[in-house]
Amino acid sequence: MSLGKVTDVLEGNYPKIFPKENLVKLLDVLRNNNFCLVIDENMNFKGLITKDDLLLKKINVHIPTFLKFFENLPTETISNKVKQKTLNEIKNFKVEDFMNPHSIKVFIDDPLELVLKEFANHPDIFVIPVV
């Protein structure tokens, strides 16, 4: 017995962003969402980005927290010029610098059994984009 197809349980509209958008725009989108679909100009799925992707993996720093901390550093701690330059460099990061282009995805006509299998095989994911 089949559980049906992805199209039978597909939910509405999700936030989307382009790969070349900057970090400020991304933070704005993720402020009220746990994830965001990354799409190109033709609405083709390019990847997925979650709030967890905003961790600088090598040093385990959460970027929004770092930005808030850095913006509030006293001027005597670091020169305004250096501070502004560093903030600008960070804010100019692009979505494509953080997104996961190898995200698991399913197609609209795929059986729900496949979706359940993907969730079972990848317990760390909470969303699977439908393309």
Neighbours of 63 (CB within 10 A): 19
Whether this prediction's pTM lies above 0.85 is answered by: no
Pairwise CA distance, residues 33 & 115, whole Å: 22
pLDDT at 20: 94
pLDDT tier at 34 (50, 70, 90 boundaries)? Answer: confident
pLDDT at position 74 over 70: no
The pLDDT of 10-38, averaged and rounded, is 87
Nearest in space to 41 (alpha carbons), one of 20, 15, 61: 20
